Amino acid sequence: MNNKQWLGRCLAAGLLVSTAAMAARTRYMPFILGHMASGSMSQTVAATRQALVANGFRVVGQYVPFARTTIICATDPALLSAAAHAKNGAFGAVERISIAQKHGRFQVSYVNPNYMAVAYGLSPLSSVAAALKNALGAMKPFGSHHGLTRNELKPGHYHYALFMPYFDNVDRVHKFPSYTAAVNTIRANLMKHVAGTTMVYQLTVPGTAKPTTVFGLGIKGGKGGDHHILRLIDHHRYLGYAYLPYEMMVVGRRVIALRPRYRIAVNFPDTSMMGSHGFMNIMSAPPAIRKVLREVAGRKG
Instruction: Give the residue with greater pLDDT, 3 vs 270.
Output: 270
User: Poorest-confidence range of 109-118, 188-197, 226-235, 287-296?
Assistant: 226-235
CA neighbours closer than 13 Å in the CB half-sphere of residue 3: 0
Instruction: Write down the pLDDT at residue 5.
Output: 56
3-state SS, residue 13: helix
pTM value is 0.91
User: Poorest-confidence range of 3-7, 131-135, 147-151?
Assistant: 3-7
Closest CA to 250 of 291, 216, 288: 216
Is residue 7 scored above 90 in pLDDT?
no
Instruction: Write down the pLDDT at residue 1.
Output: 59
The pLDDT tens digits of the residues spanning 16-50 come to 444 344 456 799 999 999 999 999 999 999 999 99
Question: Could you say which architecture CATH assigns to the domain 29-296?
Answer: 2-Layer Sandwich (3.30)
Instruction: Write down the pLDDT at residue 13.
Output: 46
Q: Angle at which helices 179-191 and 285-296 pack, to 10 degrees? A: 110
Is residue 251 scored above 50 in pLDDT?
yes
